[in-house]
Amino acid sequence: MKIAIVANTGWYIYNFRRNLMRALEDAGHKVTAISPLDDYSRKLVSEGFRHRPIPLDGGGTHPVREARSILALRRALRSETIDLVLSYTPKGNIYAGLAAIGRPVAQIANISGLGRAFVEDRPLTRLVRGLYRFALKRSARVFFQNDDDMAAFLAAGMVAPDRIGRVPGSGVDLERFRPHDSAAVDGEWVTFLFVARMLWAKGLGELVEAARMVRAKHPHSRFHLLGRVEGGAGAIPEAQIQAWITEGIVDYLGTTDDVPSCIAAAQCVVLPSWYREGVPRSLLEAAAMERPVITTDSIGCRDAVDDGISGFLCRPRDSGDLAARLEAFLSLSPEERREMGKAGRRKMEREFDERIVISRYLDAILELAGQEAGASAR
């Protein structure tokens, strides 16, 4: 089959779906990535993958520009004679569904969290739900990363019950993110690492408040931030991050392609998100490297940790409860921290191995091919 991988950034495809693309090619399919042109789409090409650039702004809302994006995607599907689209990210899912209308193109969508648009019941939420319902009407399969999102889509009638499937998040590459012996684990300083985009909904404001409380009692604790500073609604201004740095509460590490080294240098990864997550990849990567995680008891996040065993859960938007969990971690002995990390690795091997996700895609594609062959025979 000719298969397109569609998402709103080349960064997403390169970091989260590259191994899937390799597996699809190994299975005999011809694969093309479709996304905006960026440094990571160029990396895909340098590694031998096909890439078709289209204009697509993940945060854009201008009707004319958005319509042009859909038309550009439709032209790409036609000129590449695509048989099947594997779509990701909200815009990737919706626009791929719209672009495929009237064409002999099947779609398997992946709902990797519902994001800011679903945190509150606003006009934007209702619009997105309507677009999802219309765009996914023809999808051969819709994969969900957590049971809460699946239930929400079913309750709202946005997807047919006989077309749903479940995958364990995006999975995690257990070879790249493997246990890492580091003197930092037993050092005097304890480093908590936040890995995410710099958004309020990721819980960064609550983390800073909690860090103030914790550092007043534990001056040898420190808090590192790793991830992109973005613009638009919900983004934390660069000036605010600089103010926190000046205050001495956090250190900002910027962005990097070497996430494993940053995780290895920390004792614990913290993500106090109240965003509608799928299953946060940063938590899976940390656990795979035997680092305990602290996150919220909220949709998607809770799936990545066994509370009190591989990390701790706290209440969303509650900096005091988050501070208590940070202090609970600080009270553990080095051996207890190591055992917590090992429990996380075992959980990743058992539940979140990326090969599980890839296998489910290959099975779904085989099933779809069989259905099409049967229809042709009839």
DSSP 125-166: HHHHHHHHHHHGGG-SEEEESSHHHHHHHHHTT-S-GGGEEE
Say yes or no: 244 and 131 in one domain: no
The CATH number of the domain holding residue 267 is: 3.40.50.2000
Asked if 20 and 35 sit in the same domain, the reply is yes
Whether 331 maps to a domain, the answer reads yes
Q: Is residue 122 part of a domain?
A: yes
Do 301 and 364 share a domain, yes or no? no
The residue to which tokens 């992946």 are assigned: 110
Query: Where do the H-state alpha helices sit in 221-350?
Result: 238-247, 259-264, 281-288, 319-330, 334-347
User: CA-to-CA distance for 156 and 194, rounded, in angstroms?
Assistant: 34
Q: Reply yes or no on whether the pLDDT at 185 is more than 80.
A: no
**What is the average per-residue pLDDT within 346-350?**
98
pLDDT, average across residues 48-58? 93
Q: How do residues 136-173 score in pLDDT, each as one tens digit?
A: 988 999 999 999 999 988 998 889 999 999 999 999 99
Residues 6+ positions from 54 with CB-CB distance below 8 Å:
34, 35, 36, 69, 72, 73, 76
Q: Say yes or no to pLDDT of 240 above 80.
A: yes
Question: 272 lies in a domain?
Answer: yes
Whether 177 is in a domain gets the answer no
The Cα–Cα gap between 262 and 269 comes to 10
Domain residue limits at 151 = 2-171+353-377
Residues 6+ apart with CB under 8 A from 290: 179, 180, 338, 341, 342, 344, 345
Which residue from 285, 49, 37, 273 is spatially nearest to 177, judged by alpha carbons? Answer: 285
**Is residue 9 domain-shared with residue 115, that is, in the same domain?**
yes
- Within-domain flag for 176: no
Q: Please state, rounded to an integer, the average pLDDT across all residues of the chain.
A: 92
Looking at the fold, whether 212 and 280 belong to one and the same domain comes out as: yes
CA distance 133 to 355: 30
Whether 325 maps to a domain, the answer reads yes
Contact in structure between 319 and 294 (CB atoms under 8 Å):
no
Q: What is the pLDDT of residue 378?
A: 52
4: enclosing H helix or E strand: strand 2-6
Instruction: Compute the distance between CA of residue 177 and CA of residue 172 in angstroms, rounded to an integer.
Output: 8
pTM over 0.85: yes
Number of domains observed in the structure of the chain: 2
Give the pLDDT score at 205.
Answer: 98
Position 131 confidence tier, pLDDT thresholds 50, 70, 90: confident
Residues 6+ apart with CB under 8 A from 283: 269, 271, 293, 295, 301, 304, 305
Banded model confidence at residue 132, pLDDT cuts 50, 70, 90: confident
Are 190 and 328 contained in the same domain? yes
pLDDT digits (tens, 9 = 90+) for 97-107: 999 999 999 99
Comparing 185 with 287, the larger pLDDT belongs to 287
pLDDT-based confidence at residue 239 (cuts at 50, 70, 90)? very high
Query: Is residue 178 included in any domain, yes or no?
Result: no
Q: What is the mean pLDDT of residues 115-138?
A: 75
Average pLDDT of the residues in 206-211: 98
Whether residues 334 and 360 fall in one domain: no
Cβ neighbours, 10 Å, residue 120? 8
Same-domain pairing of 366 and 317: no
Q: What is the pLDDT of residue 128?
A: 78
**% of the chain beyond a pLDDT of 70:** 94
**Quick one: 227 and 332 in the same domain?**
yes
Note the pLDDT tens digit of each residue in 243-289: 999 999 999 999 999 999 999 999 999 999 998 899 999 999 999 99
Residues 250 and 368 in one domain: no
Which pLDDT value is given to residue 303?
96
Q: Is 17 exposed, middle or buried (0-12, 13-18, 19+ CB in 10 A)?
A: buried
Flag whether pLDDT at 120 surpasses 80: no
Do 152 and 192 fall within a single domain? no
Asked if residue 253 and residue 314 are part of one domain, the reply reads yes
pLDDT at 237 over 60: yes
Q: What confidence category does residue 6 fall into, taking pLDDT thresholds of 50, 70 and 90?
A: very high
Number of Cβ within a 10 Å radius of residue 328: 13
Q: What's the pLDDT tens digit per position in 85-98?
A: 999 998 999 999 99
Write down the pLDDT at residue 59.
Answer: 74
